[in-house]
Structure 1
Amino acid sequence: MPVPQQRDPDLTRERLTAWLSARLPGATDLRTRVEVPEGLGFSNETLLVDAAWEENGTARARRLVVRVAPTRYQVLPGSRLAEEYRVLSALRDTDVPVPGVLGFEPDPGPLGAAFLVMDRVSGWVPPDLPSYHRPGGPLAALAGPERAAVWWAGVEVLHRVHRLDVTGLGLDGLRDSPHGPGGLTRQLDHYETHLDHFGGGTPVTADALRLLRDGLPPEPAAPSLLWGDARLGNLLLDGVAPAAVLDWEMVFLGPGEADLAWYLYFDRHLSEGVGVPRLPGLPGRAETVHRYEELSGRSVAHHLDWFEVFAGFRFALIAARVGRLLVEHGLVADAADVPLARNAERLLARTLTALS
């Protein structure tokens, strides 16, 4: 369900033009066009900006995306735009494709909240809504081998992210992030501490949390950088090749299995969870796990059930928060009317039943 437009486009353009002028010191005759798109859902507000200017007699242009921290529709307990800026900046010269960043503005004065400005990368994204498994979408339009290539592109991205040198990139500080702390125990503590924010939890999420506490896997000696929201819907593609890895607002340090499980679980949500058959040609769970093990050079299967419950637990809380926001802002009468929350709860329940 789309979020209603929240800002005045002309005032936003005026303030963004002033902000950009200060960060493009050689620019003259700076002109901007700002689009405030509808229907992008919750999380950070997104603005699309086209900037054009003269620099030393040469015409220049830059297509930008501005992500503004939420002030009304806040799904996660706190904004992580500053951390996203640090991650994107750190990954700039790695083999993980990410948008270039122009800057982060912590001052809420210009746009009403902190914001991050990055380059707009061309490409296409397998959609979450409607599910990319449904007929008629861009992934369904591809031949079977091309669909598989897109899937494997996502797995390859996971491997690239997880093999990065966290210390060498200067990202050790993520261990103590207030909104995405490093380590599995601290992750569980974080979500449990914020249960009221998400909606108080349910018997199903309480059962999941008990299982997770009781069966906690060992922590890796050297935790990896994790994408956090690792799914095809956050992968911008050029044909079937990754053009940009997007949305790092759930980034944390931990075992790579957490990302792999989220990747598998979210795909399961978009098929089984919404009552749609998986597209033919997409590799299955066993193939995917085997490929990741080949790339990483280690076995991950032993604790993967735990990590899939961890994925389902977090996703159910996030979906419940979306339902709660829709009710609070008068977009639906009752959270039970929100398919996302209902489907996430049911899929988590089925996951737990299968393990009992």
Structure 2
Amino acid sequence: MPVPQQRDPDLTRERLTAWLSARLPGATDLRTRVEVPEGLGFSNETLLVDAVWEENGTARARRLVVRVAPTRYQVLPGSRLAEEYRVLSALRDTDVPVPGVLGFEPDPGPLGAAFLAMDRVSGWVPPDLPSYHRPGGPLAALAGPERAAVWWAGVEVLHRVHRLDVTELGLDGLRDSPHGPGGLTRQLDHYETHLDHFGGGTPVTADALRLLRDGLPPEPAAPSLLWGDARLGNLLLDGVAPAAVLDWEMVFLGPGEADLAWYLYFDRHLSEGVGVPRLPGLPGRAETVHRYEELSGRSVAHHLDWFEVFAGFRFALIAARVGRLLVEHGLVADAADVPLARNAERLLARTLTALS
């Protein structure tokens, strides 16, 4: 269920045109068209911008996505657009495909909140809503080998991200991020500290947190850059090849298993969690773990159950926050009416039961 966005299109266009003028030196006769979608998910507000201008007698054009920090529907405890800007900028010259970035604006003056402007990349995305496992969707329309290719593309992206040198990228500062601190212990501390933001937690999330505290795996000597929200729904595709890795608002530094487990767990949510069979042709958990181990050159299976509980714990809190927001803003009468939160909690409970 997307949340509504309320914004004056003309005023938004006027202010964005002025902002772009300062960042496109040499541009004359700059004109913009701004599309304000009615609803695009639960996180940052998204604006679609087409800019055309003249530069030294040559016609120029640029298609942009502008992500505005949330002011009403804030799912996570704080905006991370500034960090996303640094990550996207750092990844520009790597083999991880990301949108080019035009700039980050911390001043809330122009649009009412900080915002990030990036290039709009063409492609398609396996949807979360309705689940990409359901018949009739773009992933279901592919033949079995093509579906597998899409899945493996996501696993390859994980490997590409995780093998990068954080220090060489200039991203060591993420270790001390106030909204996504590095390391597993500090991640658990972060979510526990912000339990009230997510609705206070439930007996199920409390059980998960105890298990996570009691069974904490060893931290890697050299933590990897983690995508954070690593799922097919954040992978823009050109055919079956990755075109852009999107949505870095859960980025942190830690072991690659955290991303791999989130990738597996979110797929499980979109199948078992919503009562839909997985699409034939998509590789399963064992195959996926084996492929990731081949790519990374190390074993990850030993603690993967822990990391899947870690994924389920965070996802259940985020889903509960979404339900709470929908109630607070009058979009539903009760959080119990939000399938996302209900399904996330039930899946976490089943995951814990299987480990007991």
1:31 aligns with 2:24: no
Question: 8 Å contact 2:5–2:45 — kept in the other structure?
Answer: no
Write the deviation string for residues 181-234 of structure 1: whole angstroms up to 9, x where unpaired. Answer: 000000000000000000000000000000000000000000000000000000
Equivalent residue, structure 2, for 1:135: 135
Question: 8 Å contact 2:88–2:100 — kept in the other structure?
Answer: yes
Unaligned runs of 5+ residues in structure 1 are: none
Whole-angstrom distance in 2 between the partners of 1:329 and 1:105: 27
1:103 Cα deviation from its structure 2 partner? 0.2
Question: 8 Å contact 2:154–2:231 — kept in the other structure?
Answer: yes
Question: 8 Å contact 2:261–2:311 — kept in the other structure?
Answer: yes
Secondary structure of 1:122 counterpart:
coil
Write the deviation string for residues 324-356 of structure 1: whole angstroms up to 9, x where unpaired. Answer: 000000000100000000000000000000000
Secondary structure of 2:196 counterpart:
helix
1:128 Cα deviation from its structure 2 partner? 0.1
Whole-angstrom distance in 1 between the partners of 2:26 and 2:277: 54
1:60 Cα deviation from its structure 2 partner? 0.2
Write the deviation string for residues 142-173 of structure 1: whole angstroms up to 9, x where unpaired. Answer: 00000000000000000000000000000000
Whole-angstrom distance in 1 between the partners of 2:271 and 2:147: 15
Secondary structure of 1:198 counterpart:
coil
Whole-angstrom distance in 2 between the partners of 1:340 and 1:106: 32
Secondary structure of 1:219 counterpart:
coil
1:77 Cα deviation from its structure 2 partner? 0.1
Secondary structure of 1:332 counterpart:
coil
1:42 aligns with 2:42: yes
TM-score computed with the length of structure 1 as normaliser = 1.00
Write the deviation string for residues 107-134 of structure 1: whole angstroms up to 9, x where unpaired. Answer: 0000000000000000000000000000
Secondary structure of 1:156 counterpart:
helix
1:2 Cα deviation from its structure 2 partner? 1.9
Equivalent residue, structure 2, for 1:120: 120
Write the deviation string for residues 264-296 of structure 1: whole angstroms up to 9, x where unpaired. Answer: 000000000000000000000000000000000
Write the deviation string for residues 39-80 of structure 1: whole angstroms up to 9, x where unpaired. Answer: 311110000000000000000000000000000000000000
User: Which range is displaced more, 5-14 or 80-89?
Assistant: 5-14
Whole-angstrom distance in 1 between the partners of 2:42 and 2:274: 19
Whole-angstrom distance in 2 between the partners of 1:224 and 1:324: 33
1:296 aligns with 2:296: yes
1:19 Cα deviation from its structure 2 partner? 0.1
Whole-angstrom distance in 1 between the partners of 2:72 and 2:8: 16
Question: 8 Å contact 2:49–2:66 — kept in the other structure?
Answer: yes
Whole-angstrom distance in 1 between the partners of 2:156 and 2:82: 26
Write the deviation string for residues 59-104 of structure 1: whole angstroms up to 9, x where unpaired. Answer: 0000000000000000000000000000000000000000000000
Question: 8 Å contact 2:28–2:54 — kept in the other structure?
Answer: yes
Whole-angstrom distance in 2 between the partners of 1:78 and 1:5: 19
1:3 Cα deviation from its structure 2 partner? 1.1
**Aligned length in residues:** 356
Secondary structure of 2:173 counterpart:
helix
Question: 8 Å contact 2:78–2:179 — kept in the other structure?
Answer: yes
1:38 Cα deviation from its structure 2 partner? 1.8
Whole-angstrom distance in 2 between the partners of 1:352 and 1:16: 48
Unaligned runs of 5+ residues in structure 2 are: none
Write the deviation string for residues 253-273 of structure 1: whole angstroms up to 9, x where unpaired. Answer: 000000000000000000000
Whole-angstrom distance in 2 between the partners of 1:104 and 1:243: 22
1:8 Cα deviation from its structure 2 partner? 0.6
Whole-angstrom distance in 1 between the partners of 2:192 and 2:240: 38
Equivalent residue, structure 1, for 2:223: 223
1:25 Cα deviation from its structure 2 partner? 1.5
1:251 Cα deviation from its structure 2 partner? 0.1
Q: Identity of aligned pairs, percent? A: 99
Question: 8 Å contact 2:91–2:98 — kept in the other structure?
Answer: yes
Whole-angstrom distance in 1 between the partners of 2:26 and 2:315: 45
Secondary structure of 2:47 counterpart:
strand
Could you say what the CA RMSD is over the residues aligned between the two structures, in angstroms? 0.3
Write the deviation string for residues 299-343 of structure 1: whole angstroms up to 9, x where unpaired. Answer: 000000000000000000000000000000000010000000000
Whole-angstrom distance in 2 between the partners of 1:267 and 1:10: 40
1:27 Cα deviation from its structure 2 partner? 0.2
Whole-angstrom distance in 2 between the partners of 1:38 and 1:288: 37
Question: 8 Å contact 2:126–2:233 — kept in the other structure?
Answer: yes
1:5 Cα deviation from its structure 2 partner? 2.2
TM-score computed with the length of structure 2 as normaliser = 1.00
Secondary structure of 2:49 counterpart:
strand
